[in-house]
Every structure is written in C-alpha cells, then in structure tokens.
Structure 1
C-alpha cells in the first residue's frame, strides 16, 4: 500500500510540475483578457444576426478564459441582450473548448501540432455551429438592451463614457483576477483532474489502451460518449488526455475528449434547451460531436503522415531551466493553496460593490450558480432593474441581497430567469 501511494504521488507531482509554468503564464494572460474584454465590449461586437457576428463570436471565444459553467450565463446574457442565435451558439461552442491558459498547457503537454489543432478546431466548429443555426433556426427579433455592463476593474455597474480607471487600478485588478479570482473558479476540477491523471498514469500499464481499445473511430466514439455528459474544464482535461495518450490512446481520440468534455455537459444541454430551444440545442450538440470526429480523424492523419510520437508528454518543458520550473511549481502551489483556502475555508465572495442603506431589502435564493462568472451575470441582471441601489451576490449561500426602493419581485425573477438561473425564494430582509 505504501509503494502504491508513493507511486501515485510521484506521477501526480510529475504532471503538476510539468504544467505549472504554462498554467501560471496562462493565468496572467487570462487576467489581461479579462480587463481588455468586459461584457459590454463583447455585446457590442456580437449584437448582430449575420455571419460576421458568428465569426467574431468564434474569434473572441477561442482565447477567452471562461470555464465550462461560466460561459453559459455569459452566452445566454448575450442572447438576451440582442445577439443572434447563430452568434450565441458560435460563442458557446468555441469558448469553453479552449482559452489562452489551456492553449499554453496543451503546448507544454502535447506539443505544437496539438496546440495548434485544438484552437483551430474550436474556431471552425464555432463558425459551423453558428452558421447552421442561422440557416436552420429562425431568430426572434430581440432588441439590444441598453442596460449597463459590469466594470471589470471595480465590479460596479457602468455606462459607456461615464466610467474609467487609472492604469495602476487596472493592473491591480488584472493580477487579482489572474492569481485569485480565476484560479478560484477552476481550482476544484483542476486539482481533481491532476490527481486522476496521476492515478491513471501509475495504475494503467504501458500501451494498455493501445492493446485493449482500437485507436480509430471506435476510440473516438467512446471518448465522445464519455465527454459529452461529463463536466470538465478546458485546462483540467489536458493532463487526463495526455496520460491516456501515453497509455496508447490516439491523438485524435484525445482531441475528441478535449472538444466534447469542456464544451458540453448535462447541465449545459438542459439550460440551452430551456433558453434557446430544442432545435438550437440539437444543432449545438450535433456540431460539437461531428466536428470533434472530423478534427480527430484529421489529427490522427497528420500524426501518421509525419510519423510523430503519440506518447510524448510535456516535451516543451525539457528546454526550460530548472530554476524556472521550480519557481513556477512553487508559485502555482501558493496560488492553488490560497484558492482552496479562500473558497472553502474563508468562503470569501468576489466584491460586488458597496451596499448602501436604503428603504427596502430582499433576499433572493437562486439555483444554478456555480462560479464567479455566474455571480457577475446575476448581479448585472438584477442591477439593471429600476429602483435597485445595490446587489450583493453570494456563491456559497446561493443568494442575492438586493437593496433599493420600489423593488419588483416578479421583475427580479424574470431577469434572473433570462440570465439562465432559477429563483427558488424571495423574502424581505
């Protein structure tokens, strides 16, 4: 038993150590994108119902650091505020499959060819899904809302042209998001995925999958069946895919898992069916499934034609100096440890603005929030209503504290529902 635990621990730490530097750099890039692309900027470019909006959605979605659960309220919010169904589907397909941090980790673990194929697959599949949605589903005439967006620097509601911050404030918020908020969103599944990868790496014999599982279309279909209902983030899925490849899984089958896992899960499918309709949801799932097979077969063909090693893991870090890898591992350990401590011990919520004393307050119980992007979506939805002075949303208690005058409970219910969540109870403070 002792040898078993030591072996699993060594494999787990090896995987963690190899992805640390790419993950840390990816976190910093995620912080930069968070400041550069607030929700208002996204809505501005996606608020039309043509192929240009579909392409923009895919282009914007590929690098954005939105987790699988965070992209759903963001996408639904875009749709409710005027984006077409096609642009919304394009965004929902391309965004969760990859992000700037997962591209870097993919390069470190799976090499440049895989790192190029993955965002390319996300981009093209997003365009295909959006184009078919525009072609097959009649879009409702939703007028673009003029409700303010949330400032990414201070977290307060803002109106374009009436809000600004100094460079120092933006850099501070960028670092806070990169090293605190974003890691807190993905830390649970990231840690679980690394541990699972270490477990698989130690327990499965070399070439086990290659011997017992076909490396062709059947392996891809199996990875699809596993990936579609499963919740796994774009970054956390990488070490699992890398270890499976080391045990004999083909690169194409691994890509199918990396496309279907982050882009779909049972909760996502249910929410999309409720918001965008059954027909749009079928197009969404069918696009991801079919395009993952197309790109999976294509990636296998490239590896076979070029004679590439399908079992190479973490080849990118071999050229890095020891001190740099050690520093990244220690830094990532501190970031993840604080993220776990902050989220599960201190239970600290992201700041949502100062609460002002007003004549009325409501406690709104909300079902369906899973991350800080969800918190921001609910805050913006409720905050856009007339009479609302402040909104404080708690992820841990799944509730929003709303203060203001003349608050309309039915309007609050409707706004939260439109954002993609469910109000279970409203009571006066």
Structure 2
C-alpha cells in the first residue's frame, strides 16, 4: 500500500504538477536573471514561465490522446448513437460525448447545428453544447495538477450534471420552434463512416494539436499573465474584499465578470490558480471558470444566429443559475474538498 501511495504521489508531483519544471525555472530566474522568486518581480517571472510551459506540455499530450479517442466518434457516428436515444438517457449520453470533444464553446456550435439539423432531440444537443467546452479529460487532468484530485473530479461531475439538467429543462419546455428555420432546413446526408487506419488517427491527432494550440495560445498567455499579476502584485486583502468569503455576492460577481471574457478552460486555469492562492473560495473560482467557458460573449453571439431570443435567454438563464448554485454549494462544502 505504501508503494502504491508513493507511486501515486510521485506521478502527481512529477508528471502532473511538474515540480521538476518548477525547480528548473526557479534556477533560471535566480541564477540567470538573478531575481529572488520570493519577491514580486522574480515570483511573477517564475509563475509566468513555469505555468506557460506546464500548460502547453499537458495540453499537447492530452489533446493528442483525446483526439485519438475522438477519431472513433466522427459526427456521423455520433449522430447515429444519439439519434436512437431520447429522454434523460439521451441527455446523459450527449453530455458524456461532449467530454471527448476538446473544443471551446465557439467551436462546439457548428457541431450543435449539425446535430440539430439532423433531427436529434434539442435537449440532447444542448446537453452536448454545455458539456463540450466545460468538461473533458484534458480539463480534468490539468485541474488535478493545479487543485488536486478531489476538486478536479468534483468539477467534472458538476459540469456533467449541469449539462444534463440544462438539456433536460430545454427538452421538457419543447423549445424546438425557437430554433432558426434555416438550421432545420439544412439537408443532412448520411455519409458512410470510413474507418481510419492507425496512422491516420495519429496524423489526425497531431493536426488537432496544431489547430487547437494555434487557436488558444494567445488566451493561455493572457491568462497566465493575469494569473502572475494577481499572484504577486495584487494584495490579498484587496481581492478578499471584492470576491472573498465575506462578500455574499462573490459567486455572482465572479460569474458576471467571466461571461464577457473569451477563453477556454486552459486560459482560465492560471487565473483560477492565482485567485485560489489568494484565499478566494473554490466555488467562486469554479463559477468564474464555468462562466468563461460555457457563456463567453462571442459564443453567445454565434448562438444567437442559430436560435431565437427566447431560447437563447432560456439557455443563458439556466446555465447561469446552475453555475451560481454550484459556486455557492462548493463554497459551503469546501472543507470536504480541500
């Protein structure tokens, strides 16, 4: 048992948290730049270099693995899987399939259009739309490297629950008439799904790494930069006054602040890490992350071209309320997770 515990601890520290990388960056900052990492400037440079390299390493490896899995679930096959299942089972399956698509919310909307035009239940497609940018294997492992296993697992579970409940509510309210007409008129041709060879799957996965990193790198750098600033330059008492535990509206404020931003989960994690390190409640931090990834303003603009205002408002309302409830619950029961 001791050997298993030691192995798990070693994997967590050296593979996920990359303490070896932190030590190397510390040497770089202190020996080459001659800046103490326990001071503001040196600490900021260490935070920026270490987090940036760490995220890009984890992101590249995880996108490759997830994309390899995703190659077994092309849209045509996914439509067939989802098409025969309705009700709560369909919502659960839609949410789970969202976890193998490493996309931001804007990239999920074209798939959402394809599913809707193919006649899949609207609630199922919305469960997919919520979970796709919010939850995947990459986010779980990267969250675990920053916050630990309990918080990462809890985040994935509540993300899936939110996706299932949100899709179920939309399904029960029969909102199909609020989908723009052109979406339903798109002709769908059932193409024969061609099996990919192993080499083709590897090439597909490499291509996904290039495409996704090219799309998100700037947001990662911005997120790490903001995180480094919060971590080393903004006083803890100033942060606590705004979104600390003493502010009963901290969760709502974090969610509202997150919505106008455009980033995926990889760009928000460094900011979340810095806020958490400054004593901000884990529920407040997760509410911010969920709002950024699931309700970013650009993705809502795109979605407004697909659904009518009443359905768009319902979607935003359901997801927002869910995120806020999750935030307060996490803050209330944080002693279990931390």
What SS does the corresponding residue of 2:106 show, helix, strand or coil? coil
User: 1: distance between equivalents of 2:186 and 2:88?
Assistant: 18
Deviation at 1:18, TM superposition (A): 4.6
Counterparts in 2 of 1:68 and 1:146: CA distance versus 1, 3 Å: closer
Q: 2:173 aligns with which of 136, 142, 146?
A: 136
> Do 2:251 and 2:327's aligned partners in 1 also have CA atoms closer than 8 Å?
yes
1:210 aligned to 2:256?
Answer: no
Q: How does 1:170-189 map to 2 (within 5 A)?
A: 170-178=201-209, 180-189=210-219
User: 2: distance between equivalents of 1:239 and 1:177?
Assistant: 23
User: 1: distance between equivalents of 2:301 and 2:204?
Assistant: 34
> Do 1:28 and 1:175's aligned partners in 2 also have CA atoms closer than 8 Å?
yes
Cα RMSD between the aligned structures?
2.6
1:104 aligned to 2:146?
Answer: no
Q: 2:125 aligns with which of 88, 93, 115?
A: 88
Q: Which runs of 5+ in 2 are unaligned?
A: 1-33
User: 2: distance between equivalents of 1:65 and 1:218?
Assistant: 32
User: 2: distance between equivalents of 1:24 and 1:236?
Assistant: 14
Counterpart in the other structure of 1:289 = 320
> Do 1:252 and 1:295's aligned partners in 2 also have CA atoms closer than 8 Å?
yes
Deviation at 1:58, TM superposition (A): 0.7
> Do 2:175 and 2:311's aligned partners in 1 also have CA atoms closer than 8 Å?
no
User: 2: distance between equivalents of 1:276 and 1:189?
Assistant: 27
1:8 aligned to 2:44?
Answer: yes
Counterparts in 2 of 1:37 and 1:113: CA distance versus 1, 3 Å: same
Counterpart in the other structure of 1:33 = 69
The runs of at least 4 consecutive aligned structure 1 residues that moved more than 6 Å come to: none
1:113 aligned to 2:150?
Answer: yes
Deviation at 1:255, TM superposition (A): 0.8
Counterpart in the other structure of 1:50 = 87
User: 2: distance between equivalents of 1:170 and 1:23?
Assistant: 18
Q: How does 1:152-167 map to 2 (within 5 A)?
A: 159-160=191-192, 163-167=194-198
Deviation at 1:244, TM superposition (A): 0.7
Deviation at 1:280, TM superposition (A): 1.9
User: 2: distance between equivalents of 1:301 and 1:113?
Assistant: 15
Q: 1:259 aligns with which of 249, 272, 290?
A: 290
Per-residue displacement from partner, 1:132-180 (whole Å, max 9, x unpaired)?
11111342595995425xxxxxxxxxx315x3432222223223323x2
> Do 2:258 and 2:292's aligned partners in 1 also have CA atoms closer than 8 Å?
yes
Q: How does 1:308-387 map to 2 (within 5 A)?
A: 308=338
User: 1: distance between equivalents of 2:303 and 2:280?
Assistant: 32
When the two structures are superposed, what TM-score results if normalisation uses the length of structure 1?
Answer: 0.63
Deviation at 1:46, TM superposition (A): 2.9
User: 2: distance between equivalents of 1:93 and 1:32?
Assistant: 22
Counterparts in 2 of 1:146 and 1:20: CA distance versus 1, 3 Å: closer
When the two structures are superposed, what TM-score results if normalisation uses the length of structure 2?
Answer: 0.78
Task: Figure out how many residues of one structure are paired with residues of the other and give that number.
Answer: 294
Counterpart in the other structure of 2:228 = 198
Per-residue displacement from partner, 1:3-35 (whole Å, max 9, x unpaired)?
765543222123235545533432222221331
1:222 aligned to 2:259?
Answer: no
User: 2: distance between equivalents of 1:166 and 1:20?
Assistant: 27
The higher radius of gyration belongs to 1
Q: Which runs of 5+ in 1 are unaligned?
A: 149-158, 309-429
Give the structure with the higher percent helix. 2
User: 1: distance between equivalents of 2:188 and 2:304?
Assistant: 26
Counterparts in 2 of 1:54 and 1:143: CA distance versus 1, 3 Å: farther
User: 2: distance between equivalents of 1:214 and 1:206?
Assistant: 9
Counterpart in the other structure of 1:62 = 99
Deviation at 1:116, TM superposition (A): 0.9
